[in-house]
Amino acid sequence: MASLWVLCFVSFGLQVLCSGTPLVLWHGMGDSCCNPLSMGSIKKMVEEKIPGIYVLSLEIGKNIAEDMENSFFLNVNKQVAQVCEQLAKDPKLQQGYNAMGFSQGGQFLRAVAQKCPSPPMFNLISIGGQHQGVYGLPHCPSVISTICDWIRKILNTAAYTKEAQEHLVQAEYWHDPLNEEEYRNNSIFLADLNQERYVNESYKKNLMSLKKFVMVKFLKDTMVMPPESEWFGFYKPGQAKDIVTLQESSVYTEDRLGLKEMDKAGQLVFLACDGDHLQFTEEWFTSNILPYLQ
């Protein structure tokens, strides 16, 4: 069932029907579940536009500071496992939910969709998510610039070492087009998620069970390299200039994730936003994203 309905009580004792499909949010790098300028604002906006909706903004850790730190340093597979357990125990989600991830939260929620089909995810909305990874980190949102400098150095020199893969989040979706074999063999998160080594049929089946997989690309993105990764595109192997679109890629032509079949069935939605990374207006959000939350 892709939509639930509950009674919402409004002023003067009137009752109105409101969409009750819960929503799960996952923030991006250097952010937290409840930042009033980002995720807190999104949560509040959705709650105002859909009265009565249950919105869970994921906190990865015991507090906001730990949540932010974990967006850099907690193994992604461990994060996904924790989230799957949390969602499975939440009584408000048992009939299903929509999911919306911001930046790296987009590919992390796709991992939830592929690995944890219960409770069911109806629509997956990826806002600036990097589904083919990144090859570059031009802007790193951290209050401590030395952290960003250290991360860039590790990514450029040792992204596929065991230590980096186990303890640096961004290394786990670092995709080096000049070293595709090393990426396939040593990426513990993205290469597995994208079925680069072998096909896990459950990943494919679970992703295809989505009603809609919505991908938002920011047309003036200066943070994600390449921005086409937000639509599942990436650099052509062996160089870092020419782009291969999703439809031209092997993950599509070989249909390792079911994306080709989903595309033909109208389950894939490609949206463009004329702004920099995660920069959009309330009007754009209302017109383009809200329909998938109803």
The DSSP line for 223-265 is SSSSGGGGGT-EEPTT-SSSEE-GGGSHHHHTTSSSHHHHHHT
Per DSSP, 210 falls in state: -
> What pLDDT does 15 receive?
35
Give the residue numbers annotated as catalytic, written as ranges: 103, 221, 277
Instruction: Kindly state the tokens that stand for 193.
Output: 């998620």
> What pLDDT does 124 receive?
99
> What pLDDT does 145 receive?
58
Instruction: Kindly state the tokens that stand for 269.
Output: 């939605």
Instruction: Kindly state the tokens that stand for 272.
Output: 């463009």
Element spanning 192, H or E: helix 190-193
> What pLDDT does 38 receive?
95
Measured distance CA(109)–CA(112) in Å, rounded: 5
Amino acid at 49: K
Measured distance CA(264)–CA(126) in Å, rounded: 19
Its pTM stands at: 0.90
> What pLDDT does 93 receive?
98
Measured distance CA(172)–CA(228) in Å, rounded: 18
Other beta carbons within 10 angstroms of residue 197's beta carbon come to: 11
CB-CB contact of 37 with 3 (8 Å): no
In terms of Cβ atoms closer than 10 Å to its own Cβ (0-12, 13-18, 19+), residue 114 is buried
Measured distance CA(101)–CA(57) in Å, rounded: 10
In terms of Cβ atoms closer than 10 Å to its own Cβ (0-12, 13-18, 19+), residue 40 is middle
Contacts of 247 (CB under 8 A, 6+ apart): 263
> What pLDDT does 12 receive?
37
Low-confidence residues of the chain: pLDDT under 70: 1-19, 138-146, 152
Amino acid at 204: K
> What pLDDT does 35 receive?
93
> What pLDDT does 141 receive?
60
Measured distance CA(184)–CA(177) in Å, rounded: 10
> What pLDDT does 148 receive?
72
Measured distance CA(59)–CA(105) in Å, rounded: 12
Element spanning 98, H or E: strand 97-102
Measured distance CA(100)–CA(23) in Å, rounded: 7
C-alpha dihedral, 31 to 107 to 167 to 158, nearest 10° = -110
> How far is residue 173 CA from its own chain's centroid?
12
Measured distance CA(234)–CA(46) in Å, rounded: 32
Measured distance CA(113)–CA(99) in Å, rounded: 9
> What pLDDT does 137 receive?
72
